[in-house]
Amino acid sequence: MTKTISSATSYVEMIIRSSGDGWLPTDPFVFEDKHGLRFMVESAKKQHLTWGILESTLKGLQDCVIYNGWYQEVRMQIFDAPWGHVGDGSLLRT
């Protein structure tokens, strides 16, 4: 699970470095890897997730997984301080 999160984080960081922050190109946004896991995020109603929010979400998720020993499927709500609830996500086995 941590490898999937790390891979997704690296991908998002590469996008931010090359193109800057901005809205995700698809909604929902899906990242699948060779480890059989699927990370998916979707904007909340009247919101739009950005690469920067996704990067923060992935880093926070990685910390939670390691700290709490979560190695099962995860579902989450995504909050951004100025805007409140901006999206929902999951990390599931494919």
The pTM assigned to this predicted structure is 0.86
Domain residues for 24?
A: 2-93
Angle, alpha carbons 13-19-23 (nearest 5°): 85
Query: How many Cβ atoms from other residues are within 10 Å of residue 84's Cβ?
Result: 9
Over its C-alpha atoms, the chain yields an Rg (Å, rounded) of 13
For the chain, how many structural domains are there in total?
A: 1
The tokens describing 8, both together, are 């997704």
* Tens of pLDDT, residues 10-54: 999 999 999 999 999 999 999 988 878 899 999 998 889 999 999
